[in-house]
Amino acid sequence: MNTARTRFYRDRANGKLMGVCAGIADYTGFEVLWVRLAFVVATVCSSGFVPVIYFALGFLAPDKPSRLYADVEEQKFWQGVRQSPTRTAREVRAQFRDIDRRLAEVEAFYVSSNPRLAAEIEQLR
């Protein structure tokens, strides 16, 4: 597994203070607004423990590399891998089975005796 895409990073480009909430949002796939609201609620409900964790993550977590994902689709894929690796592996296997099935259909079409196709090939020669 590609560890660079499966680890937690601070996202300073989309962050407000230190990029921790934006990093959590990127890591989990949630909207950053909901992560920030959860942080505010947790801060109000806790006895000051949540801001300590926030600043610890802010100082200890590395910055997100600038070109970590090629596009949004790749970002969604890696968020799915982080959330449920077995489900993602199942989805990839299902996609490969579908591609294999479609390729077998194409192969069967061209390999089977198709008189119209054979006649067209002979005309081209």
Q: How many domains does the chain have?
A: 2
Nearest 5 degrees, angle CA 87-CA 93-CA 98?
125
Q: Same domain for 98 and 59?
A: no
Has residue 38 got a pLDDT over 80?
yes
Cα separation of 35 and 74, whole Å? 21
Q: Let me know whether 52 and 101 are in one domain.
A: no
- What is the residue whose two structure tokens read 């680890």? 7
Residues in the chain: 125
Same domain, 113 and 59: no
**51, part of any domain:** yes
Instruction: Measure the CA–CA gap between 121 and 54, rounded to whole angstroms.
Output: 68
Model-level pTM?
0.54
Burial of 123 (0-12, 13-18, 19+ CB in 10 A): exposed
Choose the most confident range, by mean pLDDT, from 9-13, 34-38, 47-51: 34-38
pLDDT in tens, 81-108: 666 667 767 878 888 999 988 887 877 7
> Cα 123–103–119 angle (5° rounding)?
15
In a domain, 45, yes or no: yes
98 plus 123 within the same structural domain: yes
Q: Quote the mean pLDDT of the chain.
A: 76
Residues 15 and 21 sit within 8 Å (Cβ to Cβ) = yes
